[in-house]
Amino acid sequence: MHDWLRASTVIGLVGLFCMSAAVAGSGTWTFERAVTHGLSVAPETDALEHRISVQRGSRDQTGRWPNPRLEADVSEGLGREDGRGGYALTELSLTQPLPLWGQLGHGRDAADARVAEAEAMAEVGRLELEAAIGAAFHAWQKTEADYGLAQQRLEEAERLNRIARLREERGDLSERERLRITLFRSEAMRDLEAAEGERAEARAVLASWLDLSPGELGEAPPFDVPALQAADTGPGQDGLHDHPALRAASERQRAAASEISRARAEGRPDVSVRLFRERDVIDGSREGSVGVGIQLELPLWDRNQGRVREYAAERRQVQADARTLHRDLARQISVSTEYLAHLLRELERHREETLAPAHRVRELTYRGYETGEATLLELLEAYNTHFDAVRQEQQLLAESWEEWRELRLGRGQSLVEDTQ
């Protein structure tokens, strides 16, 4: 058993976490299957896609030319001049604003950047959803393991209680020993009740993520030592630039830069071309004429400099936020990598130096109790020591999985990516 513990831990120290268990049957929920299914039924996934659609719709509208303006003038002037009286059409004009300074192109660039930002943030949202579903799955595994351990402890307590009754009938059991066994059984029952409550809660939480009833979950895969792959044992910051949150920050900077250019272009004079046809009375008859006019705005009071300064400040803010985000992600990766390695080393030591000896002491003490070499109190102490060691092992496993999720999230990697 000692060799098995050492081998399983060495395997656990060579790479990234993968799925906690393989599919035992078509109805078994594995980690990968649960995360994938949870994403497919989560309304948050639809909301992320809708946010992208919003920005795409805005992009489709941005950069379009302004509509021309048609103007018709009707008056009684012609009737007075030629003596006919009444109202008549005197002028018909069509005015088209001309965006000559590139504001439409800059607007399209900003809109493209916002679409790319929305797509990157959708990836971030999916990663956060995966982390939440993965946490619920691992909590389910742990509570199932805790529940199984509590059942084992109660079974041992019941077995000792039966032995105690037989010894009591023979008068071979002191009151102290009888009370100690009763207390051991009572503690085991309380542990089972608490474990059952936590198990029911964890099943309900995971079932809600999977849009199922708790009864449809079936049995949980074993909550065992994390299996790892070799890709994730180093510092692992080489691919940090491709983190979706950093990509989103980069796109925000690009959008802000485009908005600055657009604001500067919009501060230049607006130009419009005007095509018109007018009618007038010449030598007593009504004659028509056509012409072209140019309209030029005089930027005397407003050159849009306030908007330019606004977007320039926004760009500087986005750049500072991006540096902060990069620092925080790098720190998260560094801390999670170190702490995960620490937890795995602690798990290895615990299995070799505590769990295996505790299991051996329990076996030897039980044999000694059967032969009269060990007292009942020594046996109960050996049982409690072993159960506590198993519980500590499960806690270390839970903390390891939690740190693994944090590490994946910090790197911007899917929890089910390269984990088969």
Q: What is the 3-state secondary structure (H, E, C) of the chain?
A: CHHHHHHHHHHHCCCCCCCCCCCCCCCCCCHHHHHHHHHHHCHHHHHHHHHHHHHHHHHHHCCCCCCCEEEEEEECHHHHHHCCCCCEEEEEEEEEEECCCCHHHHHHHHHHHHHHHHHHHHHHHHHHHHHHHHHHHHHHHHHHHHHHHHHHHHHHHHHHHHHHHHHHHCCCCCHHHHHHHHHHHHHHHHHHHHHHHHHHHHHHHHHHHHCCCHHHCCCCCCCCCCCCCHHHCCCCCCCHHHCHHHHHHHHHHHHHHHHHHHHHHHCCCCEEEEEEEEEEEECCEEEEEEEEEEEECCCCCCCCHHHHHHHHHHHHHHHHHHHHHHHHHHHHHHHHHHHHHHHHHHHHHHHHHHHHHHHHHHHHHHHHHHHCCCCHHHHHHHHHHHHHHHHHHHHHHHHHHHHHHHHHHHHCCCCCCCCC
Mean pLDDT of 284-290: 80
pLDDT higher than threshold 90 for residue 362: yes
Domains of the chain: residue spans and CATH: 2-411 (1.20.1600.10)
pLDDT higher than threshold 90 for residue 76: no
pLDDT, residue 174, reads 78
Q: What is the mean pLDDT of the chain?
A: 86
Determine the Cα–Cα distance for residues 172 and 371; give it in Å rounded to an integer: 14
CA proximity to 160, closest of 336, 345, 380, 316: 380
Q: How confident is the model at residue 418 (pLDDT cuts 50, 70, 90)?
A: low
CA proximity to 199, closest of 253, 268, 143, 122: 143
pLDDT, residue 27, reads 62
pLDDT higher than threshold 60 for residue 229: no
40-63 pLDDT, tens per residue?
A: 999 999 999 999 999 999 999 998
Of 69 and 418, the structure prediction assigns the larger pLDDT to: 69
pLDDT, residue 20, reads 40
pLDDT, residue 377, reads 85
User: Mean pLDDT highest for which of 209-213, 222-226, 304-308, 334-338?
Assistant: 209-213
pLDDT higher than threshold 50 for residue 24: no
> Which range (11-20, 106-115, 239-248, 410-419) has the least confidence?
11-20
pLDDT higher than threshold 60 for residue 122: yes
Determine the Cα–Cα distance for residues 189 and 153; give it in Å rounded to an integer: 9
Q: What is the pTM of this model?
A: 0.81
153-172 pLDDT, tens per residue?
A: 999 999 888 877 877 777 77
pLDDT higher than threshold 80 for residue 254: yes
174-185 pLDDT, tens per residue?
A: 778 888 888 999
